[in-house]
């Protein structure tokens, strides 16, 4: 499927990048994870038929080709507000949200905001891939980014190729899946101007207290959901996938064997197969 770059202005001043393609009746909005961009979907994108789906690959605020304002506003709630603004501007009436890691957390928060608001759009289905959903301990390197003076210094001194290599080795179960092409797709944006600030600001915005009783809120989400998880995820462990499955009413849970944090890259065919079955099912079959 061919996709082309476009931009929209969030709050009138923040340029948000997205790629769009396809002409099908079903609109799918993809949300990438932390320290990633729209390119994380490169492996799975060709599997979606252009005549069945309209694809939107959104770069979250501060990531990929989107603007990186130094406003400190990089919480999940802010990203969800940006997503809702984008959806309203595009005039979509019905969508499916597909979120990986941080993007999954954004999708969940947006759904909760929409259910309590007056958004003119219906989220028909929700696909969550190794999603951020509950309070948890961050990987050591990201914890160090929070330290004043040390955090910015680390990002300037450590070569991008080393940071990307370490991050990918943590994310991928099968190290042979870290191909030169995949490595380059992450390295290309990892050293982008302002990304260090975005990463630190995002981490600083994480407030575990906001998610202390989050399961109660998830149980109020009535949207059919598919949860996909790598069995060997070391970043967001599989137990959180099981928790999310128990908290989201009527959700489906698919574990992918011999897979880490990025099933859509490490096992794109199997991930797409699970998604296609879910997207093709009638709504009454998903209840």
| CATH number of the domain bearing residue 201 | 3.40.50.1820
CB of 178 within 8 A of CB of 169? yes
> Is the pLDDT score of 137 beyond 90?
no
The structural domain count of the chain equals 1
Predicted local distance difference test score (pLDDT) of residue 151: 67
Q: Write 143-147 long-range contacts (CB < 8 A, 24+).
A: 143/203, 145/196, 145/199, 145/200, 145/203, 146/200, 146/203, 146/204
Percent residues over pLDDT 70 in the chain:
94
Q: Which residues contact 233 (CB under 8 A, 6 or more apart)?
A: 130, 241, 259, 260, 261
> Is the pLDDT score of 246 beyond 70?
yes
Instruction: Write down the pTM of the prediction.
Output: 0.94
Residue 194 CA to residue 279 CA, distance in Å, equals 37
For the CA atoms of 157, 161, 165, 167, what is the dihedral angle to 10 degrees? 50
**What does the pLDDT look like over 142-169, one tens digit per residue?**
777 777 766 677 777 788 888 899 989 9
Of the listed ranges 102-106, 123-127, 210-214, the one predicted with least confidence: 210-214
CA dist 88 → 97, 117, 118, 122, 166 (Å): 14, 13, 11, 11, 38
The tokens describing 65, both together, are: 């080709």
Q: For residues 93 and 28, which has the higher predicted lDDT (pLDDT)?
A: 28
At residue 41 the predicted structure's pLDDT band, cuts being 50, 70 and 90, is very high
CB of 40 within 8 A of CB of 86? no
- The pLDDT of 13-28, averaged and rounded, is 96
Q: For residues 246 and 213, which has the higher predicted lDDT (pLDDT)?
A: 246
Domain ranges, residue 182:
4-285
CA dist 271 → 126, 132, 162, 236 (Å): 14, 18, 28, 17
| Mean pLDDT of all residues belonging to the chain | 91
Residue 67 CA to residue 198 CA, distance in Å, equals 10
Q: What secondary structure letter does DSSP report for 138? A: P
Residue 215 CA to residue 153 CA, distance in Å, equals 37
CB of 261 within 8 A of CB of 233? yes
Q: For residues 127 and 285, which has the higher predicted lDDT (pLDDT)?
A: 127
- The pLDDT of 197-213, averaged and rounded, is 84
Report which secondary-structure segment, H or E, holds 27. strand 26-31
- What are residue 29's DSSP bridge partners? 56, 97
Predicted local distance difference test score (pLDDT) of residue 21: 97
Tallying the residues shown for the chain, one arrives at 287
**Dihedral of alpha carbons 275, 58, 205, 160, sign:** positive
CB of 255 within 8 A of CB of 238? yes
């Amino acid at each position: 499927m061919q996709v082309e770059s476009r931009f929209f202005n969030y709050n009138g001043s923040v340029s948000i990048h997205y790629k769009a393609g396809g002409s099908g009746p079903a609109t799918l909005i993809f949300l990438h994870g932390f320290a990633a961009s729209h390119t994380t979907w490169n492996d799975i994108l060709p599997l979606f038929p252009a005549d069945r789906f309209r694809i939107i690959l959104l770069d979250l605020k501060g990531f990929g080709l989107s603007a990186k304002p130094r406003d400190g506003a990089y919480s999940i709630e802010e990203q969800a507000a940006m997503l809702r603004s984008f959806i309203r501007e595009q005039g979509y009436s019905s969508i499916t949200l597909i979120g990986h890691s941080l993007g999954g957390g954004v999708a969940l928060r947006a759904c909760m905001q929409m259910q309590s608001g007056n958004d003119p759009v219906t989220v028909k289905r929700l696909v969550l891939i190794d999603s951020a959903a509950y309070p948890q301990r961050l990987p050591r390197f990201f914890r160090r980014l929070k330290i004043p003076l040390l955090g910015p210094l680390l990002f300037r001194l450590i070569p991008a190729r080393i940071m990307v290599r370490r991050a990918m080795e943590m994310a991928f179960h099968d190290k042979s899946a870290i191909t030169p092409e995949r490595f380059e797709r992450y390295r290309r944006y990892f050293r982008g101007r302002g990304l260090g600030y975005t990463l630190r600001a995002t981490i600083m915005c994480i407030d575990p207290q906001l998610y202390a009783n989050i399961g109660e809120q998830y149980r109020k989400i009535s949207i059919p959901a598919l949860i996909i998880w790598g069995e060997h995820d070391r970043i967001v462990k599989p137990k959180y996938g099981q928790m999310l499955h128990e908290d989201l009413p009527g959700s489906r849970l698919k574990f992918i064997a011999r897979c880490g944090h990025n099933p859509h890259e490490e096992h794109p065919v199997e991930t797409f197969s699970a998604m296609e079955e879910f997207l093709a099912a009638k709504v009454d079959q998903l209840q």
